[in-house]
Structure 1
Amino acid sequence: MTYRLDFTVIEKAESHCRYALSLHNLTDQALHGWSLYFFISRCIDPTSVSVGTISQIGSYSQLSQLPPLMANGHFYTEFTMKTMPFNLHDDGINEAFITLDNDSDLIQPLKVHTTTINLDQDSIERYCTPLPSIGCDIALIPQPNHLTRLQGEFVFNQFTAIETPPTLAQGAINWLSAEYKKHFNEVMPISPQGNIHYHVNNDIIEHGYQLLIETDNIWIHASSATGFVHATSTLLQLLPTRPSHVVDAAYCLPMVEINDQPHYSYRGMMLDCGRHFHPVDRIKHLLDQLARYKFNTFHWHLTDDEGWRIEIDAYPQLTEIGAWRGPNEIIAPQFSHIDQRYGGFYTKQEIRDVIAYASDRGISIIPEIDIPGHCRAAILSLPELLQDPTDHSVYRSIQNYPDNILSPALAGTYTFIQTVLEEVCELFPAPFVHIGADEVPKGVWTDSAACQQLMADNNYRDPMELQGHLLRFAEQVLQAQGKRMMGWEEATHGNKVSKNTVIYSWTNEEAGLECVKNGFDVVMQPAQATYLDLAQGYSADEAGVDWAGKLTLDNVYNYHPLSTLPEQNSARQHILGIQTALWSELINNQSRFEYMIYPRLLAVSEICWSKPQHRNWDDFKARLKGQLNYLDKAGINYRHCE
């Protein structure tokens, strides 16, 4: 260790806090003409810095104009952030480096060791969810509508085969065969004499299924491809985590009769791949688990300020430039990998492969291309098309960017939106495309003569009407491609999109209720109950963020969407379903990825699938006990409940 950075809370108030930063030079060489670079999640008041000058883009901060740092000496400064107090270690400074001012290309950054933030608070014990000592005999999650336990067992082994199936069941069989190979390391047989029978039964509700396990046969009935997948997910959950007979690797399944169907038609998870890039293998592994727990939608957040992750033929710059960030890249580092180039993107062929993989598992993939905000990666990649040098509007996004909003007064903006959305529509077969539309800050477009003229030409009074203007254009582009537009709740701002737009409510329950009452179809995704990037407990060492509070497993499970809206209220027909989300500012490896998702994902699955009257917290915990054996076998780094 040659340099060490300590970060300490020295004053706390409800709306602002003061911090001390100490940098220790543990070498015998003094530093002259140097700057310190680091990540911090919130905006530093530049007028409050006691020594040095701060500049920030997003989370990337540069402290410069610093005095010499003597050998075996230290540098000290203080500053204020006008936000709620930190109370998690993840709020601190986790990466930093030093450069000499004559190293303008940052060729030789000096690594700095960062210590855990001193929060100046009492320690809190780790939050636990005690589980029963003995789990359920049949530990299915989500809870089926009707399950009858029969006497006897079915022996599942290398001689088990699928009867020649109907075409409608092919995706489910592809998935079952892939799982069979994991158990037996060989291809699953298909023959007219097979003892797993997939039958089409048009009397069963779409997405529902019937499963009957007898001594010698397994019978699966459904009327849709997704119904067959859901039955298969139940069958896979009934497989023990270890064979009952080691010699012939036989698995004994309990004999059961199940009649089941989902409570909500939309059961989704959103994954943010803009802030950190998640490789294809990680996504496929997640899709396996989503299918296992009967989710049917994967919302793929592909673009953001910090990275553009989808190949667009018309604009190769979006991935040549926009997919990468680093100290010497056009896009500055953010969140992690502070002193190196970082990024990645998905080719169209990789996306087609993921779509096919998801389809076999009954999962539809909805792409998200965020507009008009969260567009910094696109704007910096295509400045000739998307930048207006005459726009002098001053604003800061919530993530601390002054230059991340598309201009509604530029012809290039409309060319960009149409071109990108048409390529996205061609690539993704789902009937929906999500266009973001969230977090456009105040101040945007206010000091642009062209934007003001556009407002005057259309008799607009509020700058937010310009957002509606852009979104209405995007909706028309999507409609021409046979797609339905989706957006975050801010898509309704400006009052320009049609009621055909599906709204995702994320800030709170009340926002979703308002959209439902106004006639929009809504997917409920309130951060306080569904955001998996929120910390899972109250102790400082919990991984995650807490801007919307802490989100424990029991808080997730006890979420009842729009519970204040009576069951008989006709507005309830506009609630399409539930979605959970993992935002990835702090998710940069597989271990943390899994830790934040599991086991809370299982609680969300039951909210989505099971009827409210069938949900019971104590019963869920007993079934979760059995599911943890599977997570252990699968090598998933879940957060332990106890």
Structure 2
Amino acid sequence: MSYRLDLTVINKNEHESRFALSLHNLTDKPLKDWSLHFLFNRYVKPDSLSNGVVSQTGSYCTITQTDNLAENGLFYTEFTVGTAPFTLYDDGILDAFISIASADEFIQPISVDISRIDLDQPAVERYNTPLPEQAAEIALIPKPNKMARLQGYFHINRHTAITTPPTLAQGAVNWLQAELKKCLNESVAVSPKGNIHFALNKDIADEGYRLLVENDNIWIQANSASGFVYATSSLLQLIPSLPSHKADSTYSIPMVDIDDQPHYGYRGMMLDCGRHFHPVERIKHLLDQLARFKFNTFHWHLTDDEGWRIEIDAYPELTRIGAWRGPNETILPQFTTISQRYGGFYSKQEIRDVIAYAADRGIMIIPEIDIPGHCRSAILSLPDLLIDPEDKSVYRSIQNYSDNILSPALKGTYSFISNVLNEVCELFPAPYIHIGADEVPVGVWTDSPACQKLMAEHGYQDPKELQGHLLRFTEELIESKGKRMMGWEEATHGEKVSKNTIIFSWQSEQAGLECIQKGYDIVMQPAQATYLDLAQGYSADEAGVDWAGKLPLDKVYNYYPLSDLSEQNSERKHILGIQTALWSELVNNQSRFEYMIYPRLLAVSEICWSEPKHRNWDDFKARLKGQLSYLDKAGINYRHCE
């Protein structure tokens, strides 16, 4: 250890905290002309430092104008942030390095060891969800609406085959074959003499299915490709984790009769790949699990301030520049991995491959291209097109950026949106495009002559109307491609988009209700009940964040959208479904990725699929106990309940 960085809470109240930061030089050489670079996810008030000068871009902070640091010496400063008291170790400094000034300004990071933050709070025991000793015999999640246990078992082994399926079932058959090969270590054939039968039944609801497991045959009936997938999902969950006969890899499946269909039509998960890049294989593994638990939508968050992740032919700079960050890159380090170049993007061919993979599993992929906020990676990649040099507006976004909002007064903004969305609409077959539209800060566009002129031309009184102006252009473009626009609830700001836009309510239940009352269709995604980046318990060592509170498993399971509205209330028809989300500021590896998602994803699947009257917390826990052996076999690093 050569250098050590400590952060300690020294004073706090409901709205403000003061910290002591100490950098220890543990070497026998002094540091001259040095600066400290570190990641901190709160805004450091610049005038609050007792020693040195801080600059901050997003979570990337640099302290300069410091004295020489003597051998075995200490640099000490204090600073203030306007935040409630920290409760998690993840709130501390996540990464840091020292650099020495150089003539060419090329940064060569010197590593620093970081002590765990001293939160100045009593210890809190780990939050547990005790599961019953006995797992449910049939542990299907989500719970089917109708199921009867029959006497006996069907045996899957190397002699099992699938009869020639109808065309609508081909995707489900592809998925079933892939999963059975993992169990049997050999392919399951498609044969006229097979004993797993897929058949069309026009009397079944579009997303419904019938699954009958008998002693010698399995019968799957549906009226849609998705119905065949959901039946396959239930069948796969019936397969035990271990074979009943190891010698010939025989798996014994309980005989059941299931008649099932979903409660909500939209059952989604959003993954943020902008803050941290998630490789294709990680996404495919997630899609396997989404299909297993009967989700039908993958919302792919592909662009943000910290990274542009989708190949766009019209603008190769978006991935050449915007997909990468580091101390010597155009985009500075953020969140983690501070001292090296970090990033990645998806080629169009990779995206096509993921879309096809998801389609076999009954999952539609909706891309999100953030407009007009969260655009820093795009703006810095295309400065000649997207920066207005006359705009002197001063603002700070919630993520501490002052340069991340597109200008609605630049011609380049409209050509950028058109060219990008033309390619996105062509690439993704889904009938929806999500455009974000969230978190545009106060102060933007207020000191831009071009924006003020645009407001005067249209008689706009509030800068928010400029957001509406830009989004209305975007909506018309998307509709011209035969698709429907989606956005977070801030898409309604400026009141320019039509009621054809689907709104995702993330800030609160009340925000969702207000959108419904204005006539919008909505997907409920309140952070307080569905954000999987939130910590799963109350002890300081829980991974995650807590800006919207803590989110243990039972709180997820007991969520019911707009519970104050009766089932008979006509406004409920505007609730298309539920979506969960994993924001990835602190999710940069497979282990943490899985830890934050599982087992809460299983709880979300049930509130999406099962009728409320069939949901029961104790029964769910017994079925969850039965699912853990699968999660273990799949090598998933889930958070243990006990």
Cross-structure match for 2:405: 405
Confirm or deny that 1:261 pairs with 2:261. yes
Cross-structure match for 2:563: 563
Counterparts of 2:105 and 2:70, CA distance in 1: 24
Counterparts of 1:72 and 1:620, CA distance in 2: 57
Which residue identity does 1:251 align to in structure 2?
A: Y
Kindly indicate whether the alpha-carbon contact (under 8 Å) linking 1:53 and 1:63 is maintained by their aligned counterparts in 2.
yes
Any residues of structure 2 matched to 1:133-212 within 5 Å, and which?
133-212=133-212
Any residues of structure 2 matched to 1:20-169 within 5 Å, and which?
20-102=20-102, 105-169=105-169
CA distances 1:185-242 after superposition (whole Å, capped 9, x unpaired): 2111110000000000011000100000000000000000000000000000000000
Counterparts of 1:95 and 1:67, CA distance in 2: 22
Match of 2:287, SS state, is helix
Cross-structure match for 1:494: 494
Counterparts of 2:186 and 2:627, CA distance in 1: 25
Confirm or deny that 1:446 pairs with 2:439. no
Shift in Å, 1:336: 1.1
Shift in Å, 1:65: 0.4
Confirm or deny that 1:539 pairs with 2:530. no
CA distances 1:471-509 after superposition (whole Å, capped 9, x unpaired): 000000001100100000000010000000000000000
Shift in Å, 1:431: 0.1
Confirm or deny that 1:390 pairs with 2:395. no
Counterparts of 2:333 and 2:224, CA distance in 1: 46
Cross-structure match for 2:435: 435
Kindly indicate whether the alpha-carbon contact (under 8 Å) linking 1:325 and 1:333 is maintained by their aligned counterparts in 2.
yes
Counterparts of 1:418 and 1:84, CA distance in 2: 42
Cross-structure match for 2:508: 508
Match of 1:300, SS state, is strand
Which residue identity does 2:43 align to in structure 1?
A: C
Cross-structure match for 2:213: 213
Any residues of structure 2 matched to 1:553-632 within 5 Å, and which?
553-632=553-632
Cross-structure match for 1:326: 326
Which residue identity does 1:48 align to in structure 2?
A: S
Cross-structure match for 1:274: 274
1:103–1:145: structure 2 CA closer, same or farther, 3 Å change rule?
Answer: farther
Shift in Å, 1:88: 0.3
Which residue identity does 2:508 align to in structure 1?
A: N
Kindly indicate whether the alpha-carbon contact (under 8 Å) linking 1:267 and 1:297 is maintained by their aligned counterparts in 2.
yes
Kindly indicate whether the alpha-carbon contact (under 8 Å) linking 2:107 and 2:327 is maintained by their aligned counterparts in 1.
no
CA distances 1:134-178 after superposition (whole Å, capped 9, x unpaired): 100000000000000000100111111001111110000000010
Shift in Å, 1:107: 4.2
Cross-structure match for 2:484: 484
Kindly indicate whether the alpha-carbon contact (under 8 Å) linking 1:24 and 1:72 is maintained by their aligned counterparts in 2.
yes
Kindly indicate whether the alpha-carbon contact (under 8 Å) linking 1:375 and 1:404 is maintained by their aligned counterparts in 2.
yes
Cross-structure match for 1:378: 378
Counterparts of 2:26 and 2:444, CA distance in 1: 46
Counterparts of 1:198 and 1:589, CA distance in 2: 39
Shift in Å, 1:109: 1.5
Shift in Å, 1:105: 3.3
Which residue identity does 1:409 align to in structure 2?
A: A
Counterparts of 1:13 and 1:522, CA distance in 2: 37
Counterparts of 2:109 and 2:373, CA distance in 1: 32
Counterparts of 2:247 and 2:105, CA distance in 1: 63
Counterparts of 2:226 and 2:108, CA distance in 1: 54
Shift in Å, 1:103: 6.0
Cross-structure match for 2:242: 242
CA distances 1:290-347 after superposition (whole Å, capped 9, x unpaired): 0000000000000000000000000000000000000110000101111110000000
Match of 1:263, SS state, is coil
Match of 2:568, SS state, is coil
Counterparts of 1:488 and 1:538, CA distance in 2: 29
Kindly indicate whether the alpha-carbon contact (under 8 Å) linking 1:94 and 1:115 is maintained by their aligned counterparts in 2.
no
Counterparts of 2:593 and 2:15, CA distance in 1: 31
Which residue identity does 2:589 align to in structure 1?
A: N
Which residue identity does 2:466 align to in structure 1?
A: L
Cross-structure match for 2:353: 353
Counterparts of 2:526 and 2:401, CA distance in 1: 24
Shift in Å, 1:565: 1.0
Counterparts of 2:476 and 2:518, CA distance in 1: 21
CA distances 1:507-551 after superposition (whole Å, capped 9, x unpaired): 000000111111100000000000000000000000000000000
Shift in Å, 1:108: 2.5
Kindly indicate whether the alpha-carbon contact (under 8 Å) linking 1:291 and 1:361 is maintained by their aligned counterparts in 2.
yes
Shift in Å, 1:102: 2.5
Which residue identity does 2:341 align to in structure 1?
A: R
Which residue identity does 1:88 align to in structure 2?
A: L
CA distances 1:334-376 after superposition (whole Å, capped 9, x unpaired): 0111111000000000000000000000000000000000000
Confirm or deny that 1:303 pairs with 2:272. no
Give me the TM-score of the superposition, normalised by structure 2: 1.00
Kindly indicate whether the alpha-carbon contact (under 8 Å) linking 1:297 and 1:366 is maintained by their aligned counterparts in 2.
yes
Paired residues, number: 642
RMSD: 0.6
Counterparts of 2:96 and 2:106, CA distance in 1: 13
Counterparts of 1:103 and 1:318, CA distance in 2: 29
Counterparts of 2:600 and 2:155, CA distance in 1: 32
Match of 1:38, SS state, is strand
Which residue identity does 1:147 align to in structure 2?
A: M
Counterparts of 1:351 and 1:402, CA distance in 2: 32
**Unmatched 5+ stretches in structure 2:** none
Which residue identity does 2:241 align to in structure 1?
A: T
Cross-structure match for 1:16: 16
Shift in Å, 1:104: 5.1
CA distances 1:357-409 after superposition (whole Å, capped 9, x unpaired): 00000000000000000000000000010000000000000000000000000
Which residue identity does 2:254 align to in structure 1?
A: P
Which residue identity does 2:132 align to in structure 1?
A: P
Cross-structure match for 1:463: 463
Match of 1:11, SS state, is strand
Shift in Å, 1:83: 1.2
Counterparts of 2:255 and 2:518, CA distance in 1: 48
**Unmatched 5+ stretches in structure 1:** none
Match of 2:112, SS state, is strand
Kindly indicate whether the alpha-carbon contact (under 8 Å) linking 1:321 and 1:381 is maintained by their aligned counterparts in 2.
yes
Match of 1:269, SS state, is strand
Shift in Å, 1:567: 1.1
Kindly indicate whether the alpha-carbon contact (under 8 Å) linking 1:557 and 1:604 is maintained by their aligned counterparts in 2.
yes
Counterparts of 2:108 and 2:542, CA distance in 1: 34
Counterparts of 1:103 and 1:526, CA distance in 2: 50
Give me the TM-score of the superposition, normalised by structure 1: 1.00
Match of 1:281, SS state, is helix
Which residue identity does 2:237 align to in structure 1?
A: Q
Match of 2:202, SS state, is coil
Which residue identity does 2:130 align to in structure 1?
A: P
Counterparts of 1:82 and 1:323, CA distance in 2: 31
Kindly indicate whether the alpha-carbon contact (under 8 Å) linking 2:269 and 2:298 is maintained by their aligned counterparts in 1.
yes
Confirm or deny that 1:417 pairs with 2:417. yes
Cross-structure match for 2:285: 285
Kindly indicate whether the alpha-carbon contact (under 8 Å) linking 1:60 and 1:335 is maintained by their aligned counterparts in 2.
yes
Match of 1:579, SS state, is strand
Kindly indicate whether the alpha-carbon contact (under 8 Å) linking 1:206 and 1:224 is maintained by their aligned counterparts in 2.
yes
